[in-house]
A and B are shown apart, each in its own frame.
Chain A
Amino acid sequence: MSLHINNISKSFKDLKAVKHISLEVKENELFGLIGPDGAGKTTLFRILASLLLPDEGSANVAGFDVIKDYKKLRKNIGYMPGKFSLYQDLTVEENLNFFATIFDTNIEENYDLIKDIYIQIEPFKKRKAGDLSGGMKQKLALSCALIHKPKVLFLDEPTTGVDPVSRKEFWDMLKKLQKKDITIFVSTPYMDEAALCDRIAFINQGEILQVDTPSAIVKNFAKEVINIRTNSIYKSLQVLGKYQYTHSNYPFGESLHYMDSRDDFDPNEIKKHLEDEGIEDVEVQLITPEIEDIFMELSRE
C-alpha cells in the first residue's frame, strides 16, 4: 500500500472539514478524489502532505507516518497545491533549478521523468513564471513537484482554471507518469475527469461517499437515468419537481436528467406527463449513468 489513511478527522473551529476518512491507495495507482468545492479535499491533501495535523486518526504515506516521520516523508512526496505557488518573478528555468536544488538534486538527474512535460514549456524557459498561461503554469508546477522523483505525487485540483485542451494533455501526462513508478493522488471538482482515474473516491462535506473503479461505480449503480430534452428545460424542471414519482431531476448540459422513485417504470409515462403540462418537443431516452449522476445521487443521501 502506498497510502494508508485511517479514520482521519480535522475541524477548523466549528467546521468539520474532514470526518472519519479512511482510504487505501495502491502502489502506482492513479487515484482520484472527486468532490465539489468545500468538500474537504484540500484539507485532506494538506494532512497527507504533513502540512496539517489531523485531530484524530493516522495516515501513512509511502511507508512514513504523516505525524511522526514528517521529515522523511517530505523527501519522498511531491506536492502541488491547488493555488499556483511557484515564484512568479522567477523564470521557468530558475524555478525548476531552485526546486531541484532544495531537494538535493539537479535537472539533469531526473530529466527523463519530467522530459515529456518540460519539453513543452522549454521554449519559454527564460520567461517569468507569472507571465505563463494557466496550462503552462500547471506544467511547470508539475515539473517542479516531480523534479526529485517522489514516490507519491499529490496534485490538488491541478486542472482547475485550465482550458479543456490543456486539461486533456495534463491527464495524458499523468497516465505516463504512473508507468514510471509513481503513485498519484489527485483531486478534482470535474466529474468528467473521474473516468480517467484507476480508482476514485467521492467526497462531500468531509465524508467519503463511495470508493471504487469508475466503471464498477457506473455498473453497480442501481437507478435508471433518463435524459430528457424539451423546448424549455426550466419549465420541465418545475413540472417534474411536483411530479409524484420524481426521485430527482437536475439540469445536465442542454438537457435534464431524471430518476424515478419506482424500481420499474416506462419512460414514456414521463414524456406524456410533460406533454400534458404543456411542454413541447419532449424527447426521453434511457442512458448509462454518468459519474456526475452517481455523485448527485450519493450526495442526496
Chain B
Amino acid sequence: MKKFIGFVQKEFYHIFRDKRSLFILFGMPIAQILLFGFAISNEINNVDIAVLNKADDKNSIEIIENLQASKYFNVLEELQSEKEIEKAFQKGKIKAVVTFEKDFAKNLQRLQASKLQIITDATNPNIANTITNYINSILTKYSHISLKQNTSPELVGTESRMLFNPALESVYMFVPGVMTVILMLVSAMMTSISITREKEVGSMEILLVSPLKPITVIVGKVVPYIFLSIINATVIVLLSVFVFQMPIVGSLSWLALESILFIITSLSLGILISTLSSTQQTAMMISLMGLMLPTILLSGFIFPIESMPLPLQVISNIIPAKWFIIILKSIMLKGVGFGFFWKETLILLFMTFVFLSISIKKYKIRLA
C-alpha cells in the first residue's frame, strides 16, 4: 500500500509539473464547451423570412404577427405573387417563405382546415429543417390558443412536438457529446501517453526491475486521472448549467456514478493503447485517430446513428461513447431512472472488463 501511495504521488508530480498537459487537461474542456456553446450552434435566431399572404384576412394576419413576435423570425418582406418567391430567395437574405392560400380564414371556418405552405432555403438542410419545425411549433401554438373556441385543435398544418428540448436548444445536444469526448480524450490519451512515456524515457526498465507488481503500476497510473476526469466532468456540468442554462432533470448521483463508470472505461482503453504502442507519439496518434474521430462521428454526438448506413450503425455499437451519450441524455434530459439505462450500463461494464483483461494479459513483465 505504501508503494502504491508513493507511486500515485509520483504521478501527481508528473501531471502538475508538466504545464502543457495540465493546460490540455483543464483548458480543453472549458474551451470546447464554450466553443460548442457559442460558435457551433444549430439554433436559429432572428431569421429573416418573407410572407406571401393571398388571403389577407384575420387569421393569416394574426399568424404573421405571431411569427414576427417570436424571437426566432423577422418578417422582412411581404411578397405579392408566387413569381417573386424565387427572386426573394436568390437575393439570399431570407431563409423561408410562408404562403397563405386565398381563402385562409374562410376555409378555416368552413372546412376546419386550411392550407399554408412553408418554403425553405435548403442549401443548409439542418437549418431549413429547424426553421420548418420552429414555424410549425408557432402554428401549433396559435391553433391551440387563438382558435380554441373554433372547435378542432388540428386546424393548421402538421403537428410536431419537440419533447425534452422544446425550444430545440442545441446546448442540450452538445453537452452530453462534449462531455463524452472530453472524458474519453483526457482519460484515454493521457493515461496511454503517461505509460508510454515511461517506456520511452527508459524508467519503465527500472520499474520492471523493481518489486512493483504490474497491477500496482497500472492502477497507480490510473487513479490520478480518475480524480482529474471527475473534476473535468464537474466543470463541464457546472458550465452547462450556469452558462448555458441547461437543466439536469434526472438524478445527480446517477450522473456521477455513470460518469465515473465511463471514465474507468476510457482509462482502461488508454491502458490498452499503451500496451500496444511503445512511443508517446504512437499512443497519441492511436488515441486521436482511433478514439477521437469515432467518438465524435459515430457516437451520435453530431450525426444521428439512425440515419447512418447499416455497416456504420453496426460499428457504432462498439464505441463506448455511444452508450454513454444515451445514458447521459436519459439522465440529463429525460430524467428517467436506472431502469431505462441499465442495458447501456452493463455494456460499458462489459467493455471495461474486456479492455482491462486484455491489458493485464498483454502487460509485459520484461522488455520486448
CB distance from B212 to the nearest CB of A (A): 5
Is A88's beta carbon under 8 Å from chain B?
yes
For A104, the chain B residues whose CB sits under 8 A away are: 2-3, 211
Assembled-state Cα–Cα distance A182/B18 (Å): 38
Cross-chain contact A102 with B365 (CB below 8 angstroms): no
Cross-chain contact A51 with B205 (CB below 8 angstroms): yes
CB distance from A96 to the nearest CB of B (A): 12
CB-contacts of B320-368 with A (<8 A): 365-368
Q: Which of A49, A89, A94, A97 contacts B209 (CB 8 A)?
A: A49
For B202, the chain A residues whose CB sits under 8 A away are: 81, 83-85
Is A71's beta carbon under 8 Å from chain B?
yes
Cross-chain contact B18 with A89 (CB below 8 angstroms): yes
Q: Which of A74, A86, A97, A103 contacts B203 (CB 8 A)?
A: A86
Q: Which of B2, B13, B14, B210 contacts A99 (CB 8 A)?
A: B210
CB-contacts of A82-129 with B (<8 A): 83-90, 94, 97-99, 101-104
Provide the B22-36 mask, 1 if CB < 8 A to any CB of A, else 0. Answer: 000000000000000
Is B17's beta carbon under 8 Å from chain A?
yes
CB distance from A78 to the nearest CB of B (A): 8
Cross-chain contact A89 with B13 (CB below 8 angstroms): yes
Q: Which of A50, A52, A79 contacts B368 (CB 8 A)?
A: A52
Assembled-state Cα–Cα distance A102/B204 (Å): 13
Closest residue of B by beta carbon distance from A67: B366
Cross-chain contact B211 with A74 (CB below 8 angstroms): yes
> Number of contact residues on B: which range applies?
20 to 34
Closest residue of B by beta carbon distance from A51: B367
Q: Which of B17, B212, B365 contacts A70 (CB 8 A)?
A: B365
Cross-chain contact A53 with B211 (CB below 8 angstroms): no
Cross-chain contact B366 with A102 (CB below 8 angstroms): no
Cross-chain contact B13 with A102 (CB below 8 angstroms): no
Is A46's beta carbon under 8 Å from chain B?
yes
For A94, the chain B residues whose CB sits under 8 A away are: 10, 13
Cross-chain contact B209 with A77 (CB below 8 angstroms): yes
CB-contacts of B1-22 with A (<8 A): 2-3, 5-7, 9-10, 13-14, 17-18
Number of A residues, CB within 8 Å of B: 30
Cross-chain contact B209 with A50 (CB below 8 angstroms): yes
Assembled-state Cα–Cα distance A75/B209 (Å): 8
Assembled-state Cα–Cα distance A77/B366 (Å): 15
Assembled-state Cα–Cα distance A196/B227 (Å): 52
CB-contacts of A50-65 with B (<8 A): 50-53
Assembled-state Cα–Cα distance A90/B14 (Å): 8
For A101, the chain B residues whose CB sits under 8 A away are: 2-3, 5-7
Is B208's beta carbon under 8 Å from chain A?
yes
Cross-chain contact B206 with A97 (CB below 8 angstroms): no
Is B162's beta carbon under 8 Å from chain A?
no
Assembled-state Cα–Cα distance A71/B365 (Å): 10
Is B201's beta carbon under 8 Å from chain A?
yes
Q: Which of A51, A85, A89 contacts B14 (CB 8 A)?
A: A89
Provide the A129-154 mask, 1 if CB < 8 A to any CB of B, else 0. Answer: 00000000000000010000000000
CB-contacts of B164-210 with A (<8 A): 201-203, 205-210
Task: Knowing A52-B368, A75-B211, A102-B6, say if A81 contacts B206 (CB, 8 Å).
Answer: yes
CB distance from A130 to the nearest CB of B (A): 10
Cross-chain contact A102 with B209 (CB below 8 angstroms): no
CB distance from B23 to the nearest CB of A (A): 15
A-B contact pairs, 26 of them (CB 8 A): A46-B367, A50-B366, A51-B208, A74-B209, A79-B205, A79-B209, A83-B202, A85-B201, A85-B202, A85-B203, A85-B206, A87-B10, A89-B14, A90-B10, A94-B13, A98-B7, A98-B10, A99-B206, A99-B210, A101-B2, A101-B3, A101-B6, A101-B7, A102-B211, A103-B210, A103-B211
8 shortest interchain CB distances as A-B pairs = A101-B6, A85-B202, A79-B209, A51-B367, A89-B17, A83-B202, A85-B203, A102-B210
**Chain B interface residues toward A at CB < 8 A:** 2-3, 5-7, 9-10, 13-14, 17-18, 201-203, 205-212, 365-368
